[in-house]
Each structure stands twice: as C-alpha cells, then as structure tokens.
Amino acid sequence: MQPFELHQPDTLDEVLSLLEQEPDDTHLIAGGTSLMLLMQLGLVEPKRVVALRKVPGLDGIERTPDGGLRIGTMATHRQAETSEAVRAHCGALRKTFADVATVRIRNQGTVGGNIAHADPAQDPPPMLIALGAEAVLRSKNGERSVPLDEFFLGYLTSVMQPGEVLMEICVPPLPPGTRARYEKFLPRTQDDYATVSVAATLRTNGDGKCEDVRVALGSVGGTPIHARPVEDALRGETLTDSRIADAAALVLDLVDPPDDARGSADYKRRMARVWTERALKRLRDNGAMA
C-alpha cells in the first residue's frame, strides 16, 4: 500500500472542498471494509483519503412523511438490520441487511459504502432496486438523485463523478398489498458471497392477477440486474406455475455470470432461473418476509 494523506473533516462542506481540490486523486472512506482491501491489493492508490466518520447527520435511518424510508450513507448494515424504521417499511429489506457477511462486518461496513463500492455480489443492491430506491448524490455543484437501477455501470463502477458524495438512499412508499422477498443461494457459509441472489416485490389483485412486480438479481453479471423482461411478462397476468416459469426463464438472456469458485457460468445461469422462479412462486403464495 502506498502512502496517502488522511483527512478527517468535521463538516460536509469541508468534505466537498477537499474533493474539489483533487477529485481524481481523492477517495472517500466510510466503514473501510471495501476500500482498505482494494488499497492493500494495490487496485486503487489514492493520494488522499477523506474519512466521513466525524461528519454529523450522515448515519440516520428514518421513515419519511410520505411513508418512504431514508437511510443515511454512514448507517451501518447492523444499524439497518436492527432499525425499527427498516423493519416497519419492509421486512425483506431488514432480512437483506441481516444477510450481509458477519456481525463484525455489519457493525463496520456502511450502507453507503456498500452501494458506492458497486460490487455486483453485494446483498443490498438487488433488494433496493426491487423496492425502487434512489441514491442521492451531492457535490459543490448541487444535488441529484439517481434511480438505483441506473446507478451501476459495470464491475466496481458507478455513475458517481469525482467530487460527489453519496448522501443517502431513499426508498419510496410501498403501495398497499405489496409483498417482498430476498433469496440468496449460498455455496458455502452464511458469510460468503451468493452464487446468485434474487430480490422481488409483488402486488396482486383479488383475482390473483399481477398488478405490479419488480425483480432484481445479484452475483450474475458485472452489475446488479433489473430484470424488466420478467416483470413485463407477468404484469396483468394470472400467476400460474407455468406463467411464472416462462417469465423466470427470461433471465437466461439477461445474466452474464463469471466462472469462479462458486460455480461455472452455466451453473449460475441455471440457478438464476431457478431462484427467480422460486422467489416469485413464494411471493404469489404469500411468502413475504415479515
């Protein structure tokens, strides 16, 4: 690891000023569980590292007046896992944060750091995409919101520009009757990355027809994948086993997983179909996560 300057500002204005001075050579550090590993491996070599830990007001988790949810960038996974606001908004989201690595990592790693890292194998992004979440970014030039399904551009790459800070994740209100689920197929132990993960939300009418559905997958491509073709195949349809199976098969053309220790690319593609079908059938049968 090459030497670097460490700055620990006390205000957001100081953070933005430091980023403006040398935006291309400055990295933000939140919990540090991802950045420090990349620096140790020599994959990133910033001249300056700006820590967010002392900046107040970045770790809040709260319901919004319209019934949505706001998660500050410095909130840890453990805070999100144990938050009453998260549980009240969506039990599947709480379960997703509980699935992140180990308690030690959840106590250190932050929600904002997880999203900004843009690792397609992380747990929260697919669930947040399925919930329609947005990332709020701020720089000296102002603030912008980016739908999370447009945030990730490639492996460890996002739309964040030099000089920007990820401030918070905003989750919109869930329409009444919406059910949600997060499935994670693990090759080994609970703290491992998933071979494939699937997040879905579903709302049906009294006749069992699909009014709305959102599906996102992780660990099977360079980014989390918003499976829009699957959604289009189900909206307005009666959710029979065959209809769900046909829709789930559409993920085969969406995913592009790598070969690695967790399985071959072909195996992961097949598991993406299987677990998408499983998640949707469980939701149809009222298998939401409380």
User: Per residue in 62-73, pLDDT tens?
Assistant: 999 999 999 999
DSSP 8-state secondary structure symbol assigned to residue 184: E
Does residue 1 surpass a pLDDT of 90?
no
For residue range 36-80, list pLDDT tens digits in order.
Answer: 989 998 889 999 999 999 999 999 999 999 999 999 999 999 999
Nearest to 217 by CA among 234, 193, 199: 199
Domains detected in the chain = 5-51 (3.30.43), 61-171 (3.30.465.10), 180-284 (3.30.390.50)
Rounded to a whole number of angstroms, the CA Rg of the chain reads: 19
Per-residue model confidence as pLDDT tens digits over 251-284? 999 999 999 988 999 999 999 999 999 999 999 9
Distance CA 70, CA 104 (A): 24
The whole-model pTM stands at 0.96
Query: For residue 45, which amino acid is it?
Result: E
The Cα–Cα gap between 13 and 282 comes to: 47
**pLDDT value at position 289?**
60
The crossing angle, in degrees rounded to 10, of helices 265-284 and 241-248 is 150
Question: What would the mean pLDDT of 194-222 be, rounded to a whole number?
Answer: 97
- What is the 8-class DSSP label of residue 161? P
Give CA separation, 209 vs 212, 231, 273, 287, in Å. Answer: 9, 13, 22, 16
Q: Quick count: other Cβ atoms within 10 Å of Cβ 176?
A: 6
